Chain A
Amino acid sequence: MDGDHALAEGALAAGCRFFAGYPITPSTETAERFAERCPEVGGLFIQMEDEIASITANVGAVWGGQKVMTVTSGPGFSLMMETFGLACMMETPMVVADVQRTGPSTGLPTLTAQQDMMQVRWGSHGDYRIIALVPDSPQECFDLTIEAFNLAEIYRVPVFIMTDETVGHMHEKVVIPPAEDIRIVERNWYMGPKEDYRPYDFNGRTAAPMVKAGDGYRFHTTGLTHDERGYPALTPDMNKQVVTHLIEKIESNADKIIRTEEDGIQGADVVVVSYGISSRIAIRAIQQARNAGIKVGMLRLITVWPFCETKIRNLARNVKAIVVPELNYGQVVLEIERCAAGQCRVISVNSCGGAVHDPEEILAAIKEGANQ
């Protein structure tokens, strides 16, 4: 099964039964798979008129009680940006996969990239936080989609699967466990008296329980700055409360959210920090470097946002260099440089133009870092 299909299967396994989408290479296969599977499982696929409509219909469907997902790639991802802000502001749980392709603009539609890593974090206007996970294989496309749904429900936030064309179109065996072995977090439905319901609670730690339209709460929600009732409250103080909550409910739980994978970091001189397909390319370089006697470790970011700041700070104090291969002109490396704060060298290994790295480039960077 390829990564794109695994995304759809992961969504179905997580209980998602609504998918409004718009075709775009190289993510289309996910929409196709979901459309194919819907009639078997009582789900609904609707191909909307554009990506803006797709993402907005998904937000609407969440408030109608559904778990939802959509997939897209660069150009569509850009179009969805405004609504991601709405979803964050309304605290709407949803999952979006970006099967990254080479930009800018139409770019190289069929070739791979990791160029939207900063866009996913900052792309919509205003201050907010999202969660972004990066799979390195079709199996992880499946597993992380389920995890994304769980995180979305816990924190009432859009969660992004930042995969890429290579993983999206990569075929590997995907093991789908029996339903009873899959951990699924259901929506935190409000249970108290109707008149006491408040859609929001700006406590900076947890998300308020939800209700759905049609259950008699007659609630209101808006993209405007709002109070606990969801009513517009257009004051600087209120905005500060809301924004602080949107950020803190993620930041204060970062330790619980962040997942990384480590190999041979203890005593390493150089650590390669990477994510997604780049980390699989890096493995080849790491093996070669180890064969050459270099003490090199690997840190794979499964969760890229929120960022594992503490881990990088500690790492920077203990290694000579951090090597960061990415399929872009240097994006997550900026965050690593910020956290390393001059304590070690940070070497960016860029790859643009739609091709994955030649492992030799990464090896050269490892050697450069080790010799310092």
Chain B
Amino acid sequence: MWEIKFSGFGGQGIVRCALITGAAVALHDDKFATMTQSFGPEARGGACQSQLIISDSRVLYPYCTTPGVLIALSQEAYDTYEPGLAVGGILIIEADLVKPKGDSERVELYSIPATRFAEELGNRLFANLVVLGFFTAITGAVSPEAMKKALPGLVPDRFLSANIKALDKGYQHGVEAVSRKTGAVH
């Protein structure tokens, strides 16, 4: 079972990230997924988090108890949720938006300049898909094929190919990061 927390501020596509991942595992990876969310009254800029539980059987309790994966796309989200991340858990941060408090070795830290990558692809709105690709490669909680299958309908049609490119870009970067990390360990 995976307990995953996506966090950042409104407008970054946090909820969309969880939604895509949830749809991918539930509809295309043949697992069960439950996604919940909380947000403030603001449409943009407020604190925002979404929780995703992935399981081989029906999800009963719909929330994270101790998340094993935290995606933090803002400093505030990092400060708030990092202490709750499980020991040995996976922490994914936006390299340019989050300054981690030293490497505590308590968790596995992965950092990606998703916004910069997205800008290189033409629009920084694709940053969330870059993060998702990165997340997919690092965690293996969901298959990259399922992620791609889940995109139509969850991203605007006219941006579908751009979003797939962003996903690929993040995935590639994730594969490299993992091999660097395993290389460093062994």
Binding site for B on A (CB under 8 A): 25, 109-111, 166, 169-173, 277, 280-281, 283-284, 356, 359
* Known contacts A283-B60, A284-B60, A356-B63; A171 and B41 CB within 8 A of each other: no
With A173-B26, A280-B60, A283-B60 known as contacts, the answer to whether A110 contacts B34 (CB < 8 A) is no
Contact call B34/A170, Cβ cutoff below 8 A: yes
Across the A-B interface, the 8 shortest Cβ-Cβ residue pairs: A171-B35, A284-B61, A173-B26, A283-B60, A170-B36, A172-B34, A171-B22, A169-B37
Min CB distance, A96 to chain B, in Å? 24
- Tell me the complex Cα distance, A138–B47, Å: 25
List of A residues within 8 angstroms of B26 by Cβ: 172-173
CB proximity of B39 to chain A, nearest CB, Å: 6
**Closest chain B residue, CB of each to CB of A165:** B38
Q: What are 16 A-B residue pairs whose CB atoms fall within 8 Å in the complex?
A: A109-B41, A110-B38, A169-B36, A170-B34, A171-B22, A171-B23, A171-B33, A172-B33, A172-B59, A173-B32, A277-B62, A281-B63, A284-B60, A284-B61, A284-B65, A356-B63
Residues of B within 8 Å of A283, CB to CB, are: 60-61
A-B pairs with beta carbons under 8 A, tally: 48
Asked if B19 is an interface residue, CB under 8 A from chain A, the answer is: yes
Return chain B residues, CB-CB under 8 Å to A359.
61
**Contact indicator A170/B27 (Cβ below 8 Å):** no
Query: Which chain B residues border A109 with CB–CB below 8 Å?
Result: 41
B60 and A171 contacting across the interface, CB-CB below 8 Å: no
Q: Is B100 an interface residue (CB 8 A)?
A: no
Q: Which B-chain residue is minimally distant from A1 (CB atoms)?
A: B23
State in angstroms the CA–CA spacing of A359 and B61 once bound together.
9
Hey, which chain B residues are within 8 Å of A173, CB to CB?
26-27, 32-33
Question: Shortest Cβ distance from A109 into chain B, in angstroms?
Answer: 6
- Chain B 160-182 per-residue mask, 1 if CB under 8 angstroms from chain A, else 0: 00000000000000000000000
Chain B interface extent, by class: 20 to 34
How far, in whole Å, are A299 and B60 apart by their CA atoms in the complex?
15
Scoring B18, B37, B41, B60 by chain A CB atoms within 10 A of each residue's CB, the highest score goes to: B60
* B39-63 interface bits toward A, Cβ cutoff 8 Å, 1 = contact, 0 = none: 1110000000000000000011111
Other than the known A166-B62, A170-B35, what 14 A-B pairs have Cβ atoms closer than 8 Å? A109-B41, A110-B38, A169-B37, A170-B62, A171-B35, A172-B22, A172-B34, A172-B59, A173-B26, A173-B27, A173-B32, A277-B62, A281-B61, A283-B61
Q: B34: which A residues are within 8 A, CB to CB?
A: 170-172
A229 to B38, CA, bound (A): 51
Among A109, A110, A171, chain B packs the most CB atoms within 10 A around the CB of: A171
Whether A280 contacts B36 by the Cβ 8 Å rule is no
* Cβ-closest chain B residue relative to A173: B26
- Contact, CB under 8 Å: A110 / B39: yes
Bound complex: CA A173 to CA B40 (Å): 25
Residues of chain A lying within 8 A (CB to CB) of residue B23 = 171
User: How far, in Å, is A6 (CB) from chain B's closest CB?
Assistant: 13
Residue of B nearest to A166 (CB): B36
Residue among B22, B34, B39, B59 facing the most chain A CB atoms (10 A cut-off) = B34
Which residues of A have CB within 8 Å of B61? 280-281, 283-284, 359
Contacts of A280 in B (CB 8 A): 60-62
Within 8 A of A (CB), among B104-144: none
Bound form: Cα–Cα A280–B59 in Å:
9
A24 CB → nearest B CB, Å: 13
B152 → A minimal CB distance (Å): 15
A331 CB, min distance to chain B CBs, angstroms: 22
Q: Nearest CB to that of B52 among chain A residues? A: A171
Contacts of B37 in A (CB 8 A): 169
Check A171 against B39 for contact (C-beta < 8 Å): no
Query: CA–CA, A293 to B39, complex, Å?
Result: 38
Taken together as a complex, chains A and B put the C-alpha atoms of A87 and B131 apart, in Å, by 51
